[in-house]
Amino acid sequence: MGLGGPVWHASVRSLRPVPERELRRMTATVLDGVGDRRRGEWFQRETAMHHRRRLSAAEEAVVGPVVDVRGTPEAVARSGPLAELGLLSMMPADVLADEL
């Protein structure tokens, strides 16, 4: 599949201007205690700050191989709780269409 392996993923977005270092600190706090930075960790700034960190070997042994669920019934099922909270309306339509 070429995805490189499973990752922990945290995203934050602020409605007011926040320095990038602060957004990174926020996502790092969320991911504290999980994954293994030595196996890979990266940030991506778009509308939100995305922080991805590779799972540790022990975590990966439990999780198993990567499975891309985009466009599957599982993706729709996983979106249910977000829809109930009204959070799907916050996603751009094109992004939502790609995911579901």
Per-residue pLDDT tens over the stretch 4-62:
788 999 999 888 889 999 999 999 999 999 999 999 999 999 888 999 999 999 999 99
Per the structure, the count of domains in the chain is: 2
Q: Note the pLDDT of residue 36.
A: 95
pLDDT at 95 over 80: no
Q: What is the pLDDT averaged over residues 66-87?
A: 84
The DSSP line for 39-84 is: G-EEEEESSSEEEEEEPPHHHHHHH-S----TTSHHHHHHHHHHHH
pLDDT at 83 over 70: yes
Q: What is the pLDDT averaged over residues 65-85?
A: 84
Same domain, 21 and 60: yes
Same domain, 14 and 46: yes
Same domain, 23 and 57: yes
The domain of 48 spans: 1-65
Same domain, 33 and 82: no
Same domain, 54 and 74: no
Predicted structure pTM score: 0.68
Q: Provide the residue count of the chain.
A: 100
Same domain, 39 and 81: no
